[in-house]
Structure 1
Amino acid sequence: MDRYTSIARALHWIMAVLIIVNLILGIGHDALPKDWAVMPVHKSIGLTVLALTLARLGWRLGHRPPPLPVAMPGWEKAAAHATHFIFYAFMILVPLTGWIMTSAGTRPLNWFFLFDVPKFAVTKEDVLVGISGEGHELMGFAWAALIIVHVAAALRHHLVLKDNVLRRML
């Protein structure tokens, strides 16, 4: 069976956990206790996802993924490729829009309270900040929905179709 490389699998699962945790923190931050450092941790995870995405893209450029099963219908292959493209777009755009929004605020931006991260030269009045705020939220909800579809598709392949699609990433 063709599998993803161990580096690709490690990046996939580490990033999956970080992204899911961050979506929960971002979507649910108002419901969490105010004395928790939810937003600074959310921002730090977002910056980590952005950095890991760049590493993942670099790895992916040099290491082709294993082929999808020959018997898989063309529409499923197209859907898989489109989903992965959108995931990569979200892995860049969602953290980047968050960074832009944060840059317009007065609070410092740091990485897990260890060091400061430079901010973009924007203000709250800038159109880009408004677009980033709306886009960050909308993409976050869309990403959460797409993750649910992605997990459901992987489970369908593993439990119903009993093919090797999920095993390639395990």
Structure 2
Amino acid sequence: MSGMVSTKTRYDAVAIALHWLTVLAILSLLAMGWIMTSVPPGSATQFMLFQLHKSVGITVLALTVLRLGWRLAHKAPALPDTMPPLEKLAAHLGHVGLYFLLFAMPLTGWALVSTSPFNIPTVLYGLVPFPHLVFPAALGSKAALNADFVNAHFIGVWLIVGLVAVHAAAALRHHFVLRDTVLTRMLPRFGPSRPGVAEPRFRHGESR
């Protein structure tokens, strides 16, 4: 998300940690989603993967709430002045789309589990019982609602895969082609940093 910007060159440690925890969680969810639909239906392995998938999905929802709250309270580093206005707009819209999907995917997953005819309880990480959503009868039958939520979740998977791929490709382009700080400002910094020393900017043809 953009909107609040500043002259600082990096995201703070909390924003970086929340970002990379979310990345790891999303990648694990995609891997689990592919595996759990490939193993024998009704098997113990599939049940375990479904429970873990639900647990990590709710974790993503919690991380996204934290990320958005932190983002609204802390200014983001400004995009490079060399970026054209349309590219800045595209970056902003891409972030908005990612935030939307980071909310929508866990919520549609929670909804499809809540309307499933199997009515299997959710226990987060095998420790914490998690309630199902309650839908008023006026919305229709659970079977019809479940089919809608399954379709929405499936579409969301491909949307988030596409947006994540574009997001990653854009970050790599900035790092290796444009050689600016768009990627490095979100990378963890290892080792002591020297106060007052700004991150170097690179021109085409210079080595690091």
Per the normalisation by structure 1, the TM-score is 0.93
- Check the 8 A contact 1:94/1:139 in 2, yes or no: yes
CA offsets, 1:47-71, max 9 Å, x none?
Answer: 0000111111110110011100011
Q: Is the 8 A contact 1:97 1:132 kept in 2?
A: yes
Tell me if the contact between 1:18 and 1:49 (Cα under 8 Å) persists in the aligned partners: yes
* Equivalent residues of 1:103, 1:109 under 8 A apart: no
Aligned length: 169
- Is the 8 Å Cα contact of residues 11 and 56 (structure 1) preserved in structure 2? yes
The alpha-carbon deviation at position 32 of structure 1 amounts to: 4.3
Counterpart in the other structure of 1:15: 22
> What is the SS of the residue equivalent to 1:125?
helix
Query: Given residue 31 of structure 2, which amino acid in structure 1 is its aligned partner?
Result: I
**85, 95, 120: which one aligns with 1:74:** 85
Classify the secondary structure of the residue corresponding to 1:116: strand
Q: Which residues of structure 2 form unaligned runs of 5+?
A: 1-7, 136-140, 188-208
SS in 2 for 1:163: coil
In the TM superposition, structure 1's runs of 4+ consecutive aligned residues that sit over 6 Å from their partners are none
Say whether residues 1:125 and 2:143 are aligned partners: yes
Q: Percent identity?
A: 41
Deviation at 1:29, TM superposition (A): 2.2
Identify if the C-alpha distance between structure 1 residues 62 and 54 changes in structure 2 by more than 3 Å, giving closer, same or farther.
same
Q: Describe the superposition over 1:91-141 as per-residue Cα deviations: whole angstroms up to 9, x where unpaired.
A: 1010000001111231001211111101112463353x3322111110111
TM (norm. structure 2) is 0.77
Q: Does 1:113 align with 2:126?
A: yes
Structure 1 unaligned segments of length 5 or more: list them. Answer: none
